Every structure is written in structure tokens, then in C-alpha cells.
Structure 1
């Protein structure tokens, strides 16, 4: 299969391997070609199968995933994306600094995995970077805004390239999702008010979600649907507190 995504999982916890492999069955073109239970086995497995996608546990029995990737990096002569996954948030910054493709917390969340896979598909297929089909009007141009990430990186992003913001209540952090489905975790001091002040097109629909009103396509009971590429995002709930204001803004478009 031309578009098959060969995937390797390196983790010393068999139940976690089985759970992740089961979640990946939702993606027909993903094939888990091999798994490994420690760093030494993982090293040989990765070099043998040369996977497109590697899910790497941070804490292995004989090494750390961070050390594993650092030592393996110079031997990788093909395009492989690495997703660190672990139960511990403390490894987030080191993983990002190693330029990991993404970071996934255990237990695996279907919605978080979906964001990672959607982002992978877009990066793999450059032709899919056409975000809004010609039949759908593009959002009106907006100003650029400065965003600071959790690693203190400064990003200048056009507001029209932002689909929505999501609050992670466990980490107590906001995340921004762009229209190429990249997502960045924002600095700790970022609040909902901070985000709403970025641009007038951002409107809060739930304590955990702020959307770009220009991408809003439909409001149905307690959820909303956005225009592509966010049309498959099904988690955007609308709470009663924000629904009236959302409807008023929507009807004014």
C-alpha cells in the first residue's frame, strides 16, 4: 500500500503497547510492524524496520527514551516522526527540545491521538496543505498576533490561521490548534482572557474551548462544527453560559 504508515512502538509496559496498538487500528493505513520492550531491542527494531512513525516511551527499563532518541538520531537516514508518550508530564519540555514530532500522555486519549495523526497526514501529503476548498470562502484577513509557547518560544501567527484553542484541565495549560493541524502548548500564564484579547474573532464556547468564529459552520444543540480542516473535530462542546453570545455572533456574520 503506497500510503501505508509503518509504525513501531517501543515501551516496556505490555498493556500500554496493546492499548496504543488498539487505538491505532482506527487508522486503516497505519500498520504496527513491530514492538519492543526495552532500549536495546528498540534500537535494533527501529533500524531494521525503518518506520515512518515511532511511538517511544520516555522511561524504559534500560535507558530513557530521551537518551535513546539522542543516540539513535545520527543513524536515522529516513524520514521518521517520533511521538514521545508517557504518564509523566515532566518530560514534555525535554521531548520538545529534542524536536520530537509530538507528545502523548498515557492513558492514550482518542482525541489527542487524532490530532497527532491528522497533523502527520498533513505533513506527509503536501497537497493537503490546501486548507479551505475553493467552494468555501476563506476567513477574512486578520492581524498577526504574538504567541508565547511553554518553552518560551515566540511565534508570530496570523489569527486567520488559528482554528481553536483547547484547555487541558489536567495540565492546566491552553493549547492552540492551527489550520495545518500543528498545535502548540502555550505558556502557563496564558488565560482565557489572554486568548480572547488576541483578536475579536476569538470567542469562548466552553470553559475548555475558544474558537475562531470565522471557521464556525454549524451549531447543533450543545456542539459546533467548524469548516475544514477542522470539520472532523467532534469535541467542540458549547455550554449554556456561552451559547447565547455565540449564537448572536454567529447570526451577525
Structure 2
């Protein structure tokens, strides 16, 4: 598994100890960690604006920075770029912990961060991703590895069955990958994914509506259903809609 991580702190001296702890975790948990560092909130925001997808799964953010607080930065990123990214605030001042709850951070670490704290944090994150199968790694034809949040995938489509080429379709971009649709269908069998034809695996949670033999997603993309799978897709989609409405009224106390 690969985790893409960004550290944002206006004091560059903070990068080395954090990166050292993350290197220890990488070795202990046998994972690849790709780490980028930023000395300003605006630099990190620029990276997000220039990216076609979600560039990171985990952010370590300082709270006090000259060009904007880490709390404000986290809010902007979650609202505009990636609602699923895990935020960890790192600060000298525990008094900010209460304020940070407004953006639902994953964790709060006090400087200097201890090795045991970082190991526990990374262990918890990996366990959550594994348990929920929310993070997947795909490899393209050039052996480049991409880490994707499963919730961001709208559908997976066969590009070339003979050469085992697939395409992962997100809201605004696509990621090429090696593999077979059968393998991914088996792997995602217990999730919200279903085969709608022999060459397309769809994420039911992104379906906007069904029309005849077409599936229309909430970003406007459209794929076709086979006659064989049409009833299965329709039934499960309608069950999902009913469940969502039931949860809504339960939370409203109706």
C-alpha cells in the first residue's frame, strides 16, 4: 500500500523529525510513504488546485502559520477539494485542540511528536483503510502506482480486455490501470460496486438516476446496463434509496 502525505508548517525545521518518524513507520508497517513538504498554506492549496484528483490521503498541518491557520486551510481543502482526506493537526499549543474539532480532524498531535504516538496513528489509519476497503492501489502500464479512495471512484471500465487494461473513472478525471474487471468485481463484491455489463463495474453511491438501460451518475457521466444486469442494478439501487430515506427520517426523529 502507498500513502501520499503532505506536511505543511511554516517552520521548515519541523519537517525532518516528522519525516524521520514516518520513515520508521514505513519500515515497520511495510508500506510506501510519499511525503511532500510545504512551508505555507498557499503553496499546499496551489498543489490542490493544479491536481486533477486528490493528491494526498493524509495531511499533517501546523495550526499557526503567517498566511493562514491550519484550521482554515483544512476547511478549504475539505470543502473544495477532498472531503475524505485525513487531517492531523500538529501544534505546540494544546489550547487549539477544541477549535480544530470544527473541521473534524482525524487526530491532534502535540509537538514534539513522539515515536509511539506516530506509530499508533499510522497503525490506526491503516487499520481503518483496510477494514473499510476505502483505499486502493492501482498500477498503470508504466508501473506507476496510484492510491485512490474507493469512494471517489464512479466506475471501472475495461479499456482493452486482451492486454488487461482498465480505466478508473472519477468525478473529473480518469486513471489508467492494469488488471481485469473480474478481479475487481470479486474484490469489491461486499461494497457498493456492481457489474452493470461485462465490461463496466459501477459505484451505486454515485448514481443519480436510471433511465431505460442507462445509468446516469451525479457528475453527468452515462454508462449502459446490459439487459441481464438491469433488474439487479435497479433493485439494489432502489433498496439503497429507501435505506437512505429511512436513515434520514430516523435521524430526524420521525
* TM-score interval for Structure 1 and Structure 2 normalised by the shorter chain: 0.3 to 0.5
Give the structure-2-normalised TM-score. Answer: 0.46
Instruction: State the TM-score, normalized to the length of structure 1.
Output: 0.47
**Greater CA radius of gyration, 1 or 2?**
2
Q: Which has the higher helix share?
A: 2
